[in-house]
């Protein structure tokens, strides 16, 4: 159910995936996804994508949407239009990390991914 975190804020050092999120009443709607990068070290990159599933077991061969590759702390937003895939009932974020250069070869990122209905965000902005 939205709004909710696809990935609660955490520190990661390797590729991974977040928990599955049931869309419920948000199924088939326009979503606003927010990627927040709160911690980073130099010479590394983060790739975050969002995948959809009908049954929690088949996540397809390509993501529904992906953020452009990131190298810096910040807050980034992207829209996900689920009206094109109304059968999707579950979402899951996945990430890949890369590090190059000298020093510790393991990447280090602090980040989160938050999902909300875009229409709900607009309504909140109008009343403020």
Q: Could you please report the per-residue DSSP string of 57-126?
A: S---SS-SEEPPPB-S-EEEEEEEEGGGSTT--EEEEEEEEEE-SSS-SS--EEEEEEEEEHHHHHHHHH
Region 29-57: mean pLDDT is 97
Question: H or E segment at 37?
Answer: strand 30-40
Domain count, the chain: 1
> How many other β-carbons are positioned within 10 Å of the β-carbon of residue 82?
20
CB atoms within 10 A of CB 93: 25
Q: Which residue has the higher pLDDT, 10 or 102?
A: 10
Question: Does the predicted TM-score (pTM) go above 0.85?
Answer: yes
**Averaged over 40-52, what is the pLDDT?**
96
Q: Taking 80 as the threshold, does the pLDDT of residue 3 lie above it?
A: yes
Domain at 73, CATH number:
2.60.120.1110
- Residue length, the chain? 128
pLDDT of residue 121: 58
Structural domain range at position 9: 4-127
């Amino acid at each position: 159910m939205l709004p909710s975190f696809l990935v609660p804020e955490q520190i990661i050092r390797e590729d991974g995936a977040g928990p599955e999120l049931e869309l419920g009443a948000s199924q088939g709607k326009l979503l606003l996804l927010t990627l927040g990068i709160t911690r980073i070290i130099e010479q590394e990159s983060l790739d975050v994508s969002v995948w959809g599933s009908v049954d929690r077991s088949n996540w397809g061969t390509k993501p529904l949407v992906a953020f452009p590759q990131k190298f810096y702390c910040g807050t980034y937003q992207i829209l996900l239009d689920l009206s094109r895939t109304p059968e999707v009932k579950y979402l899951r974020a996945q990430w890949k990390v890369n590090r190059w250069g000298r020093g510790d070869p393991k990447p280090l990122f602090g980040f989160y991914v938050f999902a909300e209905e875009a229409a709900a965000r607009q309504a909140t902005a109008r009343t403020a």
